[in-house]
Structure 1
Amino acid sequence: QEWFVVLQASTYCDLFLERQGSAAMHICFINLQLTYYGTIYIGTPPQPFKVLFDTGSSPLWVPSISCKDKAYSKHHRFDPRKSSTFHGTGQPFSIKYGKGSVEVILGRDTVKLGIQTYKYLTVLCISKAIRPTPLLLILHTIYLCFRKTDGSMVIFGGIDQSYFTGRINWIPVIYKYQWRIAVDSILVNSKKIACRDGCQAVLDTGTSLLLGPKSEINQIQQAIGKVRLTFADFLHTVHSFNCRNLRKMPNVVFVINGIQYPLTPQAYTRKDNGHCKSGFSSGSKDYDHLILGDMFLREYYSVFDRGNNQVGLAKAV
């Protein structure tokens, strides 16, 4: 199979704003606020693609007309023949994921994000084989809203202070091929209940829950109390509890670079058809680090600064 690589395909939202001279766009969400997505344009004239903005994955994907997989036969696919700015490299690339792998032929083309056009964006962003593109060298920020369909925002090249309160706390990135940071500890009622000797975490907009090693997640579940294992599959475990216990449950506090980042019970709980489920989960894969997904990122305005190899967090409003 041959794929053209730029951004992962998803569903549709087409709202754009210009703020402080940066490229900004609203992100829509679907499925109980579990998926956030927007639209980009590739090529000349531009071809629209519905995408997930996933900080947990370094390559950017869309299917092309070269892809013969039947799963994409009914989806919009990139056609390089219709773009006057497309440049094929003929360079093969392959990558393995936790589930499956992809083989591709690389190319270059213009990509429009909101009002900004990035010329000749290399299709692979962070890789040992391909140098990072300018897109990920600039600063971009994420604001994920739980309450309003059009409230969430991704901004490339700027910070909008209307989306957070207080100051931004800067945290060094400890692994340059991911947005991975060091976590000091995890507290409940001022006691260390997980990550006691420190651990690592990835800020991942492409993950809806907060995932981690089974031992650490089990300790968190025990500390918040009155949760029971509902089911487990190859993706994750699900713990549920009586919604009437919600007001009695404690905050879970992540200490990062000396600063406390609390999650209230309302923040770490998912409500589905009257049932309350814990947003902490582990899967069949025993992670060696935490994945701070949308459950965490909805609470904190997030700044991804590849130029200075750091991330910033501030309390979202």
Structure 2
Amino acid sequence: MKWLVLLALVALSECLVKVPLRRGKSLRQNLKEHGLLADYLRRHQYNPATKYFPSLAQVSNQPLENYMDIEYFGTIGIGTPPQTFTVIFDTGSANLWVPSVYCSSSACSNHNKFNPQQSSTYRSTSTSVSIAYGTGSMTGFLGYDTVQVGGIEDTNQIFGLSQTEPGSFLYYSPFDGILGLAYPNIAASGATPVFDNLWNQGLVPQDLFSVYLSSDDQSGSVVIFGGIDSSYYSGNLNWVPVSSEGYWQITVDSISMNGQVIACSGSCQAIVDTGTSMLTGPSNPIANIQNYIGATENSNGEYMINCNNINSMPEIIFTINGIQFPLPASAYVSQTQSGCTSGFQSMNLPTSSGELWILGDVFIRQYFVVFDRGNNQVGMAPVA
């Protein structure tokens, strides 16, 4: 039965280009005469990963908006016709969810809400879902619908519809929901993540995606599904094995400054997380780093730095898989009209492999990152 289905799908894709065939002429000749040859060849270029769906796979760019160097989000559509939502593309979680018309929390009152009754392709389930983040949480239930992401039509995508979004964080957030890009084994309620669904349906040519995050509130940030664009980086990509397939977790050899190891002596575990704005680590090492860079805590819990010192402050070096990834002071110090603050923050995340560091946007803005699911590795190179 499986092969009959596959053959039927291939036959269906062949019917996408309809031209009257003339006796004695090849398909190529007929397509050329009708001005359809180039489009046909583009649709049917061969890729081993998608040989049964040759017309569907494409590299897709999902533009992101940089919101004050704090959050990066993009616009997707859910349902038929599509209902529009802004979501964070988050490599630190694995679920897609948006507010729903069934949500009674104040956070839903000022955000777009999904209405299943207005989608002809929505399918309900009886499965509940609950997700907690470092800041904010949601509860709700799961449903299936078509998701428009980066110009791709992702059919039969499972996603969460929120019923509660407690607290104030999500109320003040400029985005509606979250689209998780981590491994499926950390997805709440066993939901299949969006990227897994794209790959399983043969909608992307490679089992990877890559991310560029702009600096200084500028435009141009992007998630590239199924491809790598070398124009975003300089030099070569340095590949780092994933040490645990849940988050995008890697091993950091050490963190040093002026040739001296100041944290992560003897290696530590870190996750590469587009959904965290700062660079976080366990309390004691972060306190040491704040001291090294001359950051002092104010009454609001912010670590302030004298703006006049930035040009003379040293790089902080993250050595990963034997390669040095330097962060200049211009990267780890945030400058605003109210002063300069440290981009480091303490956050204790205990796991079986030790306390986790988070290489958030402070780090990722300096490095183009490839998240390679096919080979379970992360590629990084300095941004161009």
- Structure 2 residue 376 is matched with structure 1 residue 309: yes
Residue equivalent to 1:297: 364
Once residues 293 and 304 of structure 1 are traced to their aligned partners in structure 2, the CA distance between those partners, rounded to angstroms, is 14
- Relative distance call for 1:99 and 1:146 in structure 2 (3 A) is closer
- Relative distance call for 1:191 and 1:142 in structure 2 (3 A) is same
The correspondence for 2:346, drawn from 260, 264, 282, is: 282
8 Å Cα contact 2:130/2:188 also seen in 1: no
Higher relative contact order (CA 8 A, sep 6+): 1
- Relative distance call for 1:231 and 1:171 in structure 2 (3 A) is farther
Number of residues of Structure 1 aligned to a counterpart in Structure 2: 291
8 Å Cα contact 2:74/2:88 also seen in 1: yes
1:312 deviates by 1.1
Residue equivalent to 2:35: none
**Quick check: 197-206 or 130-139, which moved more?**
130-139
Once residues 225 and 243 of structure 2 are traced to their aligned partners in structure 1, the CA distance between those partners, rounded to angstroms, is 22
- Structure 2 residue 329 is matched with structure 1 residue 262: no
Residue equivalent to 2:66: 29
Once residues 337 and 128 of structure 2 are traced to their aligned partners in structure 1, the CA distance between those partners, rounded to angstroms, is 46
Residue equivalent to 2:154: 118
- Relative distance call for 1:85 and 1:286 in structure 2 (3 A) is closer
Residue equivalent to 2:250: 181
The correspondence for 1:130, drawn from 190, 195, 199, is: 190
Q: Name the SS for the 2:117 alignment partner.
A: helix
Once residues 99 and 267 of structure 1 are traced to their aligned partners in structure 2, the CA distance between those partners, rounded to angstroms, is 23
Once residues 66 and 194 of structure 1 are traced to their aligned partners in structure 2, the CA distance between those partners, rounded to angstroms, is 46
Residue equivalent to 1:44: 80
Residue equivalent to 1:9: none
Q: Return 5+ residue gaps in structure 1 as ranges.
A: 1-19
Higher strand share: 1
Identity of aligned residues (%): 43
Residue equivalent to 2:313: 249
1:67 deviates by 1.5
- Structure 2 residue 264 is matched with structure 1 residue 200: no
- Structure 2 residue 228 is matched with structure 1 residue 159: yes
- Relative distance call for 1:307 and 1:87 in structure 2 (3 A) is farther
The correspondence for 1:89, drawn from 125, 138, 141, is: 125
5 Å-filtered alignment, 1:202-221, equals 202-221=271-290
8 Å Cα contact 2:331/2:366 also seen in 1: yes
Q: Name the SS for the 2:284 alignment partner.
A: helix
Once residues 366 and 153 of structure 2 are traced to their aligned partners in structure 1, the CA distance between those partners, rounded to angstroms, is 30
- Structure 2 residue 339 is matched with structure 1 residue 271: no
The one-letter code matched in structure 1 to 2:123 is H
**Quick check: 176-185 or 119-128, which moved more?**
119-128
Higher helix share: 2
Once residues 197 and 132 of structure 1 are traced to their aligned partners in structure 2, the CA distance between those partners, rounded to angstroms, is 36
1:219 deviates by 1.9
Q: Name the SS for the 2:330 alignment partner.
A: coil
TM-score by length of 1: 0.85
The one-letter code matched in structure 2 to 1:119 is T
8 Å Cα contact 2:318/2:324 also seen in 1: yes
1:174 deviates by 1.8
Q: Name the SS for the 1:267 alignment partner.
A: helix
1:213 deviates by 0.6
Cα deviation digits, residues 28-80 of structure 1 (max 9, x gap): 1123x111111001111111101111111222220111212233123211111
1:165 deviates by 0.8
8 Å Cα contact 1:214/1:286 also seen in 2: no
- Structure 2 residue 130 is matched with structure 1 residue 61: no
The correspondence for 2:291, drawn from 222, 228, 238, is: 222
**Quick check: 267-276 or 92-101, which moved more?**
92-101
- Relative distance call for 1:36 and 1:272 in structure 2 (3 A) is same
Q: Name the SS for the 1:289 alignment partner.
A: strand
TM-score by length of 2: 0.71
Once residues 172 and 63 of structure 1 are traced to their aligned partners in structure 2, the CA distance between those partners, rounded to angstroms, is 35
8 Å Cα contact 1:86/1:107 also seen in 2: yes
Once residues 134 and 333 of structure 2 are traced to their aligned partners in structure 1, the CA distance between those partners, rounded to angstroms, is 26
Once residues 101 and 379 of structure 2 are traced to their aligned partners in structure 1, the CA distance between those partners, rounded to angstroms, is 39
- Structure 2 residue 206 is matched with structure 1 residue 146: no
Cα deviation digits, residues 125-181 of structure 1 (max 9, x gap): 723742644614531111011146322111111111100011111111222121111
Cα deviation digits, residues 76-108 of structure 1 (max 9, x gap): 111111112211122223334456653322111
8 Å Cα contact 1:231/1:239 also seen in 2: no
1:214 deviates by 1.1
Once residues 77 and 58 of structure 1 are traced to their aligned partners in structure 2, the CA distance between those partners, rounded to angstroms, is 20
Once residues 275 and 335 of structure 2 are traced to their aligned partners in structure 1, the CA distance between those partners, rounded to angstroms, is 20
Once residues 328 and 234 of structure 2 are traced to their aligned partners in structure 1, the CA distance between those partners, rounded to angstroms, is 17
Q: Name the SS for the 1:165 alignment partner.
A: coil
5 Å-filtered alignment, 1:5-24, equals 21-24=58-61
The one-letter code matched in structure 1 to 2:89 is F
